[in-house]
A and B are shown apart, each in its own frame.
Chain A
Amino acid sequence: MNLSGAFTFAGPRATVWDLLQDPEVLARSLPGTERLTRVGEDRFEGAMTVSVGPVTAARFAVTVALGDKAPPERFTMQIDGRGGVGFTRGTASIALTEPPEGGTLMDYTADVQIGGRIAAVGQRLLESVARAMMRQALDALNRELQARLDAGAGPR
């Protein structure tokens, strides 16, 4: 499954970059994430619960490794999730640019392989579920960004 798209954050690139490297922020933003903790320089481990059609509340142990980092422009994520109903493996590439109209433009593309029961019975819903999760995550990140910018601006 290939997921790609673009999203504009209403804030400066350096702050967006920091958010994307912060496991606590990511854990709050990614739907179904129970926890995500840093276990190495660019390595995180955690747990997620996902529902896809007839497969409800499927729990996955997740490992995320960041690579090819060129702050604040781009990085890649290797994602590996395993659980009782299947697995997911994939690579995502993320690029941040500063468009003339302001804000930060994120271009992302991800190749994700999904296997086991979750692929076998949830196939026709997988892509829409993945897109919905991605949209929710990006909206949540944007809210995190606003909160951080507001906090940085101090009391008004």
Chain B
Amino acid sequence: MNPIAGMGGRVGLKGTDGEAYEEALRRGARPVSPHRAIEFLNHVRSTDFEIIAAAGAMGEEEVLASNKKDLLRLVVGERKERTTAEDTKTAAREMVEKGTDIIVFVGGDGTARDILDAVDEEIPVLGVPSGVKMFSAVFAVNPRAAAKVLDEFLRGRTSLVEREVLDIDEEAYRRGVLRIRLYGYLKVPLPRDDLLQYMKTVSKGGEEEENKLAIARTIVEDMEPNTLYLLGPGTTVKAVADLLGIDKTLLGVDAVVNKKLVGKDLDEAGILRLLDRYSKAKIIVSPIGGQGFIFGRGNQQLSPRVIRRIGRNNIIVIATWNKIKDLPYLRVDTGDPDVDEMLRGYIKILVDYRRYIVKKIV
């Protein structure tokens, strides 16, 4: 648990990274995450598991204050007065080494980033939301919902999906500039609709990886010759490159023509140069989980100028069933209101082998 996460919110700060923590304290901020951690723990129904907690204010105290105190098996890290990002990383790392099956963290985007640095996709991670900024798609809706997910995970009824960790420049954010970068992916448990398996319905694509492959296969089968394909960030889009045998930058934009790589980790200028060379071009993007942004979050290289030149009809949106089912809308925030307006309206989303659904971009 990040003991200082979320403290900036009530006192009008945009986070507690770096210097802001001191300022938050000066403004009289009080901790919020301990309360949320306890709420989470108290709502977990299962009791047949054990807990490894980070020392002191980073989880140990909350476990002991909850109705799960008897389940505490081990404490990692050192008890400290002031904790830092390094402490989060060390504790998470140690938990992996002690063989935990899942890490539950309480915090915001900054905490998610630290966990990602420490454990990458080695083990599943579940976020209990308690930050000011929670742009990342690794959080449950609230502590109680997180408790339900953990229960399902413990019963073996979840699928593991990769979800985005987004990195916000807090300094810029406090100045009112939203600069968001896709930082990476964590492996998150998602409750499975196992009841659907025997109901009057076709299987919704089965497991996540198979679903991605089905989407990728459709894209590859439909690829037109001499057309520039700009592959946006993310694992769903990466599956297309994998199928083509191309080594794609996971977090960047790559370009493909006639199933061959013609540009890697491109910036806006690089993309525009390629657009000069090819008369036909298409963009392939996947929405950010939980939020539905297809432009303006983690893929700013696909700028308003790029989008304008390629045109709305040449935007291919792809998403797995697991990702799309909880998204009521898609969103755009390119920074250019005219381009945003042009993008709005209904669009087809490729969700499985030759299978599309129609959703609105708002």
A is bound by B: no
Chain A residues in contact with chain B, CB under 8 A?
none
Chain B residues in contact with chain A, CB under 8 A?
none
